[in-house]
Amino acid sequence: MDSITLDLASPPDRERLVVQLMIGEEQFAEVNQEIDSLQVEVYGRRDGQPWIVDFEQLMSALTNARGRLVSIK
Protein backbone atom coordinates (compact mmCIF):
# COMPACT_ATOMS: atom_id res chain seq x y z
CA MET A 1 0.00 0.00 0.00
CA ASP A 2 1.28 3.47 -0.90
CA SER A 3 1.78 5.99 1.87
CA ILE A 4 -0.76 8.70 2.58
CA THR A 5 0.09 12.13 1.23
CA LEU A 6 -1.61 15.41 2.09
CA ASP A 7 -2.48 18.16 -0.36
CA LEU A 8 -3.74 21.55 0.80
CA ALA A 9 -6.41 22.62 -1.69
CA SER A 10 -9.03 25.27 -2.38
CA PRO A 11 -11.85 23.45 -4.20
CA PRO A 12 -14.42 25.68 -5.92
CA ASP A 13 -17.28 24.07 -3.95
CA ARG A 14 -15.77 24.92 -0.54
CA GLU A 15 -15.66 28.23 1.31
CA ARG A 16 -12.38 27.39 3.09
CA LEU A 17 -9.23 25.43 2.40
CA VAL A 18 -9.28 21.65 2.72
CA VAL A 19 -6.64 18.95 3.10
CA GLN A 20 -7.01 16.12 0.63
CA LEU A 21 -5.74 12.72 1.81
CA MET A 22 -4.31 10.81 -1.13
CA ILE A 23 -3.07 7.28 -1.66
CA GLY A 24 -1.17 7.19 -4.91
CA GLU A 25 -3.13 9.28 -7.40
CA GLU A 26 -6.51 8.70 -5.74
CA GLN A 27 -8.12 10.87 -3.07
CA PHE A 28 -9.66 8.75 -0.33
CA ALA A 29 -10.66 11.45 2.15
CA GLU A 30 -10.81 15.15 2.82
CA VAL A 31 -10.53 17.14 6.03
CA ASN A 32 -12.52 20.36 5.86
CA GLN A 33 -13.64 23.12 8.16
CA GLU A 34 -16.88 24.18 6.51
CA ILE A 35 -18.48 24.38 9.93
CA ASP A 36 -16.75 25.43 13.15
CA SER A 37 -15.34 21.94 13.80
CA LEU A 38 -13.18 19.86 11.49
CA GLN A 39 -14.93 17.18 9.45
CA VAL A 40 -13.56 14.15 7.63
CA GLU A 41 -15.27 13.19 4.40
CA VAL A 42 -14.35 9.67 3.20
CA TYR A 43 -14.70 8.68 -0.46
CA GLY A 44 -15.13 5.28 -2.09
CA ARG A 45 -12.44 3.76 -4.26
CA ARG A 46 -12.85 3.97 -8.02
CA ASP A 47 -12.60 0.20 -8.29
CA GLY A 48 -15.26 -0.42 -5.64
CA GLN A 49 -12.87 -2.19 -3.25
CA PRO A 50 -12.57 -1.06 0.38
CA TRP A 51 -9.73 1.16 1.50
CA ILE A 52 -7.38 -0.69 3.86
CA VAL A 53 -5.15 1.81 5.60
CA ASP A 54 -2.60 1.37 8.37
CA PHE A 55 -4.15 2.76 11.57
CA GLU A 56 -1.06 4.64 12.78
CA GLN A 57 -0.42 6.11 9.34
CA LEU A 58 -4.03 7.33 9.11
CA MET A 59 -3.95 8.86 12.61
CA SER A 60 -0.71 10.64 11.77
CA ALA A 61 -2.16 11.96 8.50
CA LEU A 62 -5.30 13.23 10.25
CA THR A 63 -3.23 14.94 12.94
CA ASN A 64 -1.06 16.60 10.28
CA ALA A 65 -4.16 17.67 8.33
CA ARG A 66 -5.64 19.27 11.46
CA GLY A 67 -2.37 21.11 12.08
CA ARG A 68 -2.36 22.52 8.55
CA LEU A 69 -5.93 23.77 8.72
CA VAL A 70 -5.91 25.08 12.27
CA SER A 71 -2.68 27.02 11.71
CA ILE A 72 -4.27 29.05 8.86
CA LYS A 73 -7.60 29.92 10.52
Per residue in 7-34, pLDDT (tens digit) is 999 999 999 999 999 999 999 999 999 8
Predicted TM-score (pTM) of this structure? 0.88
Q: Pick from 9, 14, 7, 17: which is nearest to 69 by CA?
A: 17
At 65, the amino acid letter reads: A
Span 54-73, pLDDT tens digits = 999 999 999 999 999 987 75
CA–CA distance, 20 with 32 (Å, rounded to integer): 9
- What are the boundaries of each domain within the chain? 4-70
Q: Pick from 53, 23, 21, 54: which is nearest to 38 by CA?
A: 21
pLDDT at position 30, please? 97
| pLDDT over threshold 60, residue 35 | yes
pLDDT at position 1, please? 63
pLDDT at position 18, please? 96
